Structure 1
Amino acid sequence: MTTVACADNSLDTVLRGSYLSYKSEGMRFFHTGDFKRAIAWFDNAIELNPEDFESFLWRSRCHVMLGELADSLKDIDTAGTLEPNHPMGTFMRAETLYQMGEFEKALQVGGRKRL
């Protein structure tokens, strides 16, 4: 917890490290190609908000980039319980299965509208 002075000279308590901040940092590290650091930030975001579909999705993408396909699939499974009809979840499941060499399954998933 950090305290900062406000414009009216009163002290305002600011909670740093909200899940949105963690998710934002995870996305920043993802886009710079530092997938391990991104995963650590998404871990923190998920710890604070385990219902955040997007954090699981981004962490899944990191795992794919690192070749950690089983971990990617776990995150996609969790994301699928949170947002079963989200098209990006379907895409990531198909992508992960494709990377695993499960081409038929990837095609089947890609043809569906849900995870």
Structure 2
Amino acid sequence: MTCGVWTRRTVVGATAVRLRVRTRLGRAVAMRNLRLLEVALIRKGWRCLWFHTPQPRLWVYAGSGAREVGTLVTVRAVRGGWCYYRSSAGLRRPVASCGDVGVAAELLDAHLKARLFPGTFPG
């Protein structure tokens, strides 16, 4: 019985390692997906700032007057594709799949409006 549990943990651990490696090596894919999200968010009136770290990140904020109110978005590999993550929420809950740029932009828009105007928009 113990051997079965150990094997399952090894398989799950190996999958996690493969996803981390795919995230690291897929920098071009991550950049492309973040560019698509950037265009959608700019159309909604948000501003974006790029951080070119080993894993590209996109800071989304309201403007020069409220630069400290924003969220950091990153792209990570998951089983079956890629997902957008808010770095402040941790890596347990993805925002949306990279195939759903419109949905991701809507969810980030709602999140940022709730942070900018806490009493007006539901969080």
Query: Shared fold by TM > 0.5?
Result: no
TM-score by length of 2: 0.28
